[in-house]
Chains A and B, each alone.
Chain A
Amino acid sequence: MSGKDSAPGIVNRLDKLYEFDREPVKENQLHSGGRFASIFAGEHVAGTEFVIGAFFVINGVGAKDLIIGLLIGNLLAVLSWTFLCAPIAVQTRLTLYWYLRKIAGPGVMVIYSLANAFLFCILAGAMISVAATAVGIPFNIEMPSLGDIYPNSVGWVLVVFLVGAVVGTVAVLGFKRVSQFSSVCVPWMFLVFVAGALAVLPQLGDFKTIGEFWEIAQTKIWNGIPAEGAEKLGLWHVIFFSWFCNLAMHVGLSDMALFRYARTWRYGLYSALGMYLGHFLAWICSGIMVAAYGAKIEPGPMAYNACGLAGAIAVVIAGWTTANPTIYRSGLALQIVTPNWPRWVTTIVAFVVATIMACFPAFVMNLLNFVAIYGLILMPIGAIVVAEHWLFPRLGLKQYWADERAMLFNWPALITWFGVLFICWLPMNAMNIHLFFRWLPGYFLSLIFYILLSMLWGAKNTGAAQA
């Protein structure tokens, strides 16, 4: 199976979809650092923050573990953007799509896009669930609880479908205006987190000094006792979670699409704004809000309790603005595997799938695990690109050998991807390695497997035609 000319229609359609960014970014198209600062600050104060910060309280993380864990984990995330993703993006000036296509072949790229589309649907579904918890407040809908897997009431399903229909309709019409609108929400949204936390803090206890506040934090907020049915998480879980929360973006390299516009790889450091405003401060604030609310994963009522109507609106907007582009991208990815279906049809398919998933609280109530699985599935792709980009020249292997041979599937890449996922699933499960910790050994295994398999496949000897 080889030959660019014989590439099936599915690949041609996918290429056409991304045609506009096929060429490397030119010098005069580069953006200033300020733009990266605002993008990162905006992207990481989103709907998920209402849930993730609350989960740390529910999962019995101690106050000291939380602070130290978030400081270290977010630092590791910033370093991953700065030393992995940004340098490759700046050197190639390409999106991951085109660079991976060159390295792993168009066939692998199609599989990657479909996996991404499916994961996007689940993420959008979780966001619709989050928004539905706020929309359900005036209807007095019974909210799903932590252990719920299936929808718990007809009212919940109706509200989810209402929210899903609105999100899906806007996605079908195009989301450009929504993304413009969401940029307006960012400063206010951040203040919703801070205001909610500040205003409910006195409910947890009176304090005058930092020492007294720390006492309240350790006993009333992050007291180290998990809620019934919740798993106990500790320092290492927090470190790893905050590191891999955006794994697909930094280690998985999908933010190459962003950093290809950077003047220097040092712009990766701007990710610290997103991490320490969103994944540090906003998570801490939502933890305080959920402690005052009563340690339940009900983001809408929780924000309503802390900020009134504005809080509920914030949850709806946060869920909506996150779900909308996600469904749109999912629809685009699905478009390539359908027989010339128009984009509006594939977007409807994506939002119907996302809405059905949103009815099942299992997804939003297991958001931490889903985030871990999302990163884990896409992580080997980042390792494959890093191996080919940096390690191949140092090992005397030929870069872009699969492209040179016009391979539709770079089999070492495909075998590495699925092989490592299999190892991270069954053997690591048997060894009782926690889901949060599996990606790191998986990453190094991916590097080793890909290099060894490429050597076996003849990456050293590019003269011979092999596919």
Chain B
Amino acid sequence: MNQTRLIAALLAIVALLICVAAPLYVFLMGMENYEANFAGYKVWFNWATLLWFISAPFWMIPEFFQKQKEDEE
């Protein structure tokens, strides 16, 4: 795995961890300060989603960015 792909993998894993941690926090806090927690979770989740889609393709499908001779048939 080259360095770019390694960094992409690390960022993608961080993104997934945020996607797990943010809703888990809302869940564990229950009704205590729920509205603020829920709004904050959505912000975190959106940023983590952006980070995932920027990094994960470089990690999971590096061939996606290679020039394709023939796209389909």
Show the binding face of A for B, using Cβ within 8 Å.
173-177, 180-181, 183-184, 187-188, 191-192, 194-196, 198-199, 201-203, 206-208, 307-310, 313, 343
> Cα distance A449–B25 when bound, in Å?
58
Residue pair A191, B71 in contact (C-beta under 8 Å):
no
With known contacts A198-B26, A199-B23, A201-B27, A309–B46 Cβ distance under 8 A? yes
Interface of B is mostly: helix
Q: How many A-B residue pairs have CB under 8 A?
A: 86
Q: Count B-side interface residues using an 8 Å CB cutoff.
A: 33
With contact pairs A181-B64, A196-B23, A201-B27 given, residues A188 and B46 touching in the complex (Cβ less than 8 Å) = no
Instruction: Provide the bound-state CA to CA distance between A71 and B59, in Å.
Output: 34
Contacts of A309 in B (CB 8 A): 42, 46, 49
Alpha-carbon separation in the docked complex, A324 to B46 (Å): 25
Give chain B residues whose Cβ lies under 8 Å from the Cβ of A191: 16, 19-20
Q: How far is the CB of B23 from chain A (nearest CB, A)?
A: 4
A-B contact pairs, 12 of them (CB 8 A): A174-B71, A176-B72, A177-B71, A183-B60, A188-B49, A191-B19, A195-B22, A199-B22, A199-B41, A206-B31, A207-B30, A309-B42
Q: A173-B71, A307-B42, A308-B46 are in contact. Are A198 and B56 (CB under 8 A)?
A: no
The answer to whether B19 touches A184, judged by C-beta atoms less than 8 angstroms apart, is no
Q: Which residues of A contact B22 (CB under 8 A)?
A: 195, 199
**Are A181 and B72 also in contact (CB < 8 A) when A188-B16, A199-B41 are?**
no
Residues in A with CB closer than 8 Å to B26 are 198-199, 202
What chain A residues lie within 8 Å of B19 (beta carbons)?
A: 188, 191-192, 195
One of B23, B30, B56, B72 near A175 (C-beta < 8 A):
B72
Contact A183 B61 (CB under 8 A): yes
Q: Is the CB–CB distance between A187 and B16 below 8 Å?
A: yes
B27's nearest neighbour on chain A, judged by CB, is A198
Nearest chain A residue, comparing its CB with the CB of B26: A199
Distance A452 CA – B53 CA, assembled complex (angstroms): 56
